[in-house]
Structure 1
Amino acid sequence: MAHSATIQVNKSRLIVNLADNSRADWGLKACENMLKDSLIVLSNFLYSKNTCLDKKVHEEIEVDLHFCGDSRMKQINREHRGKDKTTDVLSFPMYESLRPDSTDFVLPGPVMLGDIIISRNVAAKQARDFDIELEQEVIHLFCHGLLHLLGYDHEISQEEEEIMEALEKEILMKIKKSRQKK
């Protein structure tokens, strides 16, 4: 049975629609709490020099975030990427690119970026492997997926990998700093 929720915080123009069809021991409310503190930082990034989005023209941005188990993630990865294995995060963008030099036309008004799918099992395993809190790994995977929705892709070249990695680090550092202020 799928569960869903929508999260948005004051001063954030980012809306995240959560859906969960896995049977993990951490629930949807935990996922909401994990992401809530990061939304303002992510919203600011979405309207930064790193995208073509404009606060005056695109009043809010929406992302659908799905959590699933390994078997579902493996199935999605096989169907859409031809890879018969599970993975940590997949992104399905609505636009080819929303980078600053994008030629994609984005209508004025609310903008739907696309879907991000995170495997709960892989997220939990990676958190253990990296010796970090699960919350940190979920936020990292969400940021990674969000960058893919914007048209950043580390699989294209070494240069693109370095650009994407630098942006991830910048975003995660800002999230960490904003959380320390609380």
Structure 2
Amino acid sequence: MIRVESDVSGEWDSQGEWPLLADQAVRAAVAASRHHALADSGIAVEVSVKYGSDEEVRALNASYRGKDKPTNVLSFPMLDSALIGSLGSAAGGELLLGDVVLASGVCAREGSEKGVPTRSHAAHLIVHGALHLLGYDHETDEDRAEEMEAAERRALAELGIADPYLATEVRS
């Protein structure tokens, strides 16, 4: 069972769709990942998605990554991803994967620059962040980056969102 908790700051418009989008994007990311069995396991898998302000994300980025600027998405895993496979086969219990935090202004600006709706770009960023929680990485080598992008493409296709890598790259 996948459970997604959302926190939407005032920086995001109040259309009410953001928690549903977080739920759909996290579920698609898990389904497209090498840990897809988690969705049907006996474990409650939890991810928190924070729709934050640029300032919140800038402060987190400075504190945790030493980069004093906002970025589009940050991921904070709660456990070593190498343990996920063994935990996914256990019956019962709870698996806290971690937190994904998006920056409102950066997300809207990037979406506009790419010519995609903010909602679609936010979904991509949530998928990207959730895959980081699941142990995917695009910064260590080309093969791992390609594996992550392939998982993103599968998840986004499931959500009806076009391949974002045809024209641009995601920063995190």
Partner of 1:86: 70
The equivalent residue for 1:133 is 117
How much does 1:25 deviate?
Answer: 5.0
**Cα 1:63/1:103, change in 2 over 3 Å:** closer
- Equivalent position amino acid for 1:78 in 2: A
8 Å Cα contact 1:153/1:164 also seen in 2:
yes
| TM-score computed with the length of structure 1 as normaliser | 0.75
Would you say how many aligned residue pairs link Structure 1 and Structure 2? Answer: 156
Cα shift at 1:44: 3.3
How far apart, in 2, do the equivalents of 1:43 and 1:157 lie? 22
Structure 1 residues not aligned, in runs of 5+: 1-12, 178-182
Q: Counterparts in 2 of 1:13-162, with a 5 A limit?
A: 13-21=1-9, 23-24=10-11, 26-27=13-14, 29-38=16-25, 41-42=28-29, 44-45=31-32, 50-51=34-35, 53-54=37-38, 55-58=40-43, 60-97=44-81, 102-103=82-83, 105-106=86-87, 108=91, 109-162=93-146
> Aligned partner of 1:17: which letter?
E
As a proportion of its length, which structure holds more helix?
2
SS at match of 1:29: coil
Q: CA deviation at 1:30?
A: 2.7
With normalisation by structure 2, the TM-score equals 0.79
For the pair 1:163 / 2:147, whether they are aligned, the reply is yes
RMSD, aligned CA:
2.3
